[in-house]
Amino acid sequence: MATRALTKGLLGLRHVRGPTVKVSNSGRQFATASSIISPEPQTCSVRDKMLDLPLEKQDLFRVSELFTVKDLFDARVHLGHKKGCRHRLMEPYLYDSSLDYDIIDLDKTAEDLRRALDKTAHTAYGGGIILFISRRRQFCHLVENTAKQCGEYAHTRYWQGGLFTNAHIQYGPGVRLPDLVVFLSTLNNVFQQHVAIRDARKMNIPTVGVVDSNCNPSLITYPVPGNDDTPVAMELYCRLFKTVINRAKNKRKQMELLHSLSEPSEPSS
């Protein structure tokens, strides 16, 4: 809830990102209270209404209909690595820790996946930038295509040091960072945690990550315990994220049309 509110507040500032932003947990006031560029009150209220709609309704994007536990099972999402590769912090997500091969509990996965897809949908609905990251060469083409098909971004190459933390110098002043980072595999090529996880945390960017039994889930905002090595599982995740993002964007277009029909004097943003 706090993360959602934080993101909403950050979304309200489309052009300015910096230490001057002060956000607090005081309800729905951030878009107007902390914005430095003051918009007209009318557009603000209309945009607020549109942004509040998903918060009022439970599961506005019908994320729970997208998959079942059986689908996850068929996509081999429950298969983890061997016992020796296990990360200590993944033990709560495992079905039975005494087995030689780790099996991830799909009930927990289903719940976490729904939460993650919901977060992705909310971000896409609010017009946020989503960045897909995966350092698995086997799936780099798939991830890039997924991002292209839903109109978002992907980074599947070597991660240079300060891409988030030093963005204003590496890319230029006033660059906009992603509002959500989706890790389809949290490890890099040498089985260490991807640097972007720590950097996104530093920059207050919420992260969604598919964590396998050898990954560290602690720094990720919405961890989804699941298999990240099998092509079937990766295709399932990519399909789900793509569907959810497209659905959210279509919903946003619908709401904008509705509001533009009801209030013809609204300036187009």
Partner 1 sequence: MAALCKLRFGCRSAFRFSSSVSVRTSFSSDSEDGTRAGAGFAAAFQRQAELQREAENSAPDQSGSIPGQEQTFASLFQAVPVRDKVVVGNIFHVVRDDLYIDFGGKFHCVCRRPAAGGERLQRGSRVRLKVLDPELTARFLGAKTDTTLLEAQAVLLGPLEEREAQGRVQKQD
Pull the structure tokens for residue 29: 């006031």
User: Which of 85, 140 has the CB closer to partner 1?
Assistant: 85
Quote the least distance from Cβ 91 to partner 1, whole Å.
Answer: 14
User: Which of 74, 263 has the CB closer to partner 1?
Assistant: 74
User: Which of 32, 64 has the CB closer to partner 1?
Assistant: 64
Q: How far is CA 51 from its chain centroid?
A: 17
Pull the structure tokens for residue 203: 């920059």
The type of residue at 121 is A
Quote the least distance from Cβ 221 to partner 1, whole Å.
Answer: 21
Rounded to whole angstroms, the Cα distance separating 82 from 62 reads 35
* Residues paired with 182 in a beta bridge: 132, 208
Quote the least distance from Cβ 99 to partner 1, whole Å.
Answer: 5
Quote the least distance from Cβ 138 to partner 1, whole Å.
Answer: 9
**Region of 207 on the Ramachandran plot (φ > 0 left; ψ -120 to 50 alpha; else beta):** beta
137, 130 contact by CB (below 8 A): no
User: Which of 57, 70 has the CB closer to partner 1?
Assistant: 70
222, 4 contact by CB (below 8 A): no
The type of residue at 38 is S
User: Which of 91, 111 has the CB closer to partner 1?
Assistant: 111
Quote the least distance from Cβ 98 to partner 1, whole Å.
Answer: 11
| DSSP H helix total and E strand total for the chain | 9, 7
DSSP designation for 176: P
Quote the least distance from Cβ 3 to partner 1, whole Å.
Answer: 21
Pull the structure tokens for residue 189: 């090529």
User: Which of 118, 179 has the CB closer to partner 1?
Assistant: 118
Instruction: Name the residues that contact partner 1, by CB under 8 A.
Output: 62, 64-65, 68-70, 73, 76, 78-82, 84-87, 95, 99-101, 103, 105-107, 110-111, 191, 214, 227, 229-230
User: Which of 36, 232 has the CB closer to partner 1?
Assistant: 232
Rounded to whole angstroms, the Cα distance separating 130 from 222 reads 14
Quote the least distance from Cβ 32 to partner 1, whole Å.
Answer: 34
Rounded to whole angstroms, the Cα distance separating 205 from 161 reads 17
* Residues paired with 153 in a beta bridge: 131
